[in-house]
Amino acid sequence: MNYNPNPASAAGRPRPPKRVSDVNAMGPSAPMMGGGATFMAPPTGPGILDPNMYGAPAPAPVNSYGFDPNLGQPSQHIQQPPQQQPGYGYGAPPPQQAAGPPTFGIGAPQPVAPPTGQYPQFAMFQQPIVQDMAMQYGQKLADQGKQIMENQFEKWVPVAKLKYYFAVDNAYVGRKLRLLFFPYMHKDWSLRYDQEHPVQPRYDVNAPDLYLPTMGYITYVIVAGLLLGMQKRFSPEQLGIQASSAMAYSIFELVIYSIALYVMNVKTSLKTLDLLAFTGYKYVNIVVCLMVSTLFFKSGYYIALAYTSFSFGFFLLRTLRTKLLQDNSPAAPSGAINYDPYGNPQQFDYSGGKKRKLYFLFMVVAGQALFAFLLSKHLYLPEAEVLTVPKTF
């Protein structure tokens, strides 16, 4: 059965059917698009003469027969819900679709730059594991540096030995001040020992300490500034001058005593920190003399200086006697001759050279009175000062 796609013409004469050879020569017909559309889909963008480009209203859609049924009738804007159609008819425009942005040229999206300060090559350092490892490594380096600094500092400053001289309490400070100003009432001047080492100062009032000398030195600088202000001679630089001069006197004093021990060839268990503690008590006496001068002026200052020098000399004679003149054998486990605050027991014979030791002892006592006078003679109030208060209106 032959298929005739073309029906009879308008004249009634049937068209001759195509032969098989003609069909083979022409080739197969083009496939249908979209199940019924015979034309290529129009582009989605506006045409060259599209009035929508210039703001004009869009033309009314036409049907498949090629004419507009609403032609000549008033236009009515009727909004109908969109309907989904399976296919397109002949001449029907496809539904409008939103055009996407161009991939290049004007209007193309620009690449987003990464935030400032963030680089992908350093992203690994933001991992928690890497941060923990870095923290542990840094802590280890800090501990090693701290240990090295402590070892180097320990070579020059005996921090562990200084703890012995600052092991005091309030009760000890009160008893020590009473011993400095009223040494005649004290009976027992021997040092107490725990096996071969002396006990801490808080347990023995006769043991030397560095707390009172340090506090006395600081108080001396403050009182010096107060008295200079009462005499209208104060300036901020005076505090530094008084502090540095007092420190220079103390260092010079220690150097003299060390040279004297070496020259006299005096063998003693008295150490440098012991000398610093015993000679530092004079600042307590200086503060008392200066405070008395604020009440009794020049006469009160000299009376207080004489009394404190005598009482302090008595204290030094009785205290240093256990370290300079005590005649004990080196084998004695509880003797003061074996005392070494640096932790190195010395086995020396301290029984010889008593006359040289007495000379050194009297030199220390006389030196304390001399240096106390030199450090305070320019600070005491010579007479009553009339303080003028400015009138306020």
**Tens-place pLDDT, residues 23-65:** 555 555 555 554 444 445 555 555 545 545 555 555 555 554 4
Same domain, 147 and 253: no
Distances (CA, A) of 312 to 7, 220, 307: 147, 17, 8
Which of 130, 128, 272, 264 has the alpha carbon at shortest distance from 208? 272
- pLDDT tens-place string over residues 84-117: 444 444 455 555 555 555 555 565 555 555 555 5
Of 147-161, 185-199, 289-303, the range with the lowest mean pLDDT is 147-161
Q: How confident is the model at residue 68, as a pLDDT? A: 52
Identity (one letter) of the amino acid at 221? Answer: V
In a domain, 97, yes or no: no
Regarding pTM above 0.75, the answer is no
Cα 318 to chain centroid, rounded? 50
For the ranges 4-8, 137-141, 196-200, 206-210, which has the lowest average pLDDT?
Answer: 4-8
SS3 37: strand
Shared domain check, 246 and 325: yes
331 has a pLDDT exceeding 80: no
Whether pLDDT at 386 is above 80: no
The answer to whether residue 68 sits within a structural domain is: no
Instruction: Specify the number of domains making up the chain.
Output: 2
Structural domain for 156, as ranges: 129-163
Based on the fold, state whether residues 223 and 283 are members of the same structural domain: yes
- Mean pLDDT of all residues belonging to the chain: 73
Establish if 186 belongs to a structural domain: no
pLDDT band at residue 271 under the 50/70/90 scheme: confident
- DSSP secondary structure string for all residues of 213-261: HHHHHHHHHHHHHHHHHHTT---HHHHHHHHHHHHHHHHHHHHHHHHHH
> pLDDT-derived band of residue 314, with 50, 70 and 90 as boundaries?
very high
The pLDDT of 260-283, averaged and rounded, is 89
Which has more pLDDT, 190 or 8? 190
**Strand boundaries in the chain, DSSP class E:** 193-194, 197-198
Whether 301 and 238 share a structural domain:
yes
Lowest mean pLDDT across 280-284, 311-315, 353-357: 353-357
* pLDDT given for residue 336 in this prediction: 37
pLDDT band at 369, cuts 50/70/90? very high
Question: Which of the four pLDDT bands, split at 50, 70 and 90, describes residue 192?
Answer: confident
Amino acid at 127: Q
Q: Note whether 254 and 262 are within 8 A (CB).
A: no
Q: Is the pLDDT of residue 318 over 70?
A: yes
pLDDT at 257: 92
Same domain, yes or no: 266 and 149: no
The whole-number pLDDT of residue 125 equals 67
- Distance from CA of residue 307 to its chain's centroid? 51
- Look at residue 162 in the predicted model and tell me its pLDDT: 85
Q: Which of 144, 163, 182 is the last residue of a domain?
A: 163
**pLDDT band for position 240 (cuts 50, 70, 90):** very high
Specify the pLDDT at position 347.
44
pLDDT at 221: 95
Phi first, then psi: give them for residue 49, nearest 5 degrees. Answer: -105, 25
Q: Are 355 and 302 in the same domain?
A: yes
Task: Please report whether residue 150 resides in a domain.
Answer: yes
CA distance 176 to 202: 10
Please give the distance of CA 380 from its chain centroid, rounded to a whole number.
44
What phi-psi label fits residue 392: left (phi over 0), alpha (psi between -120 and 50 degrees) or beta?
beta
My answer on whether 250 and 358 are in the same domain is yes
The residue among 55, 42, 45 whose CA lies nearest residue 102 is 45
Residue bearing the bigger pLDDT, 372 or 7: 372
Domain contains 145:
yes
SS3 122: helix
Same domain? 245 vs 159: no
First to last CA, the chain: 136
Task: Give the integer Cα–Cα distance in Å for 189 and 192.
Answer: 10
In order, the DSSP letters of 292-324 are: HHHHHHHHHHHHHHHHHHHHHHHHHHHHHHHHH
Q: Do 354 and 232 sit in the same domain of this protein?
A: yes
Q: Which of 28, 45, 64, 334 is nearest to 195 (CA)?
A: 334
Distance CA(59)–CA(71), nearest Å, equals 11
Structural domain contains residue 153: yes
Mean pLDDT of the 265-293 span: 91
Give yes or no: residues 158 and 218 share one domain: no
Q: Could you tell me if residue 30 is inside a domain? A: no
Find out whether 275 and 254 touch, Cβ atoms under 8 Å: yes
Q: Does residue 8 sit within a domain?
A: no
State residue 33 phi and psi, 5-degree precision.
-100, 135
Q: Please report which confidence band the pLDDT of residue 338 belongs to, taking 50, 70 and 90 as the band edges.
A: very low
Instruction: Compute the average pLDDT of residues 274-300.
Output: 93
Say if residue 149 is in the same domain as residue 240.
no
Residue 156 and residue 217 in one domain: no
Q: What is the reported pLDDT for 127?
A: 75
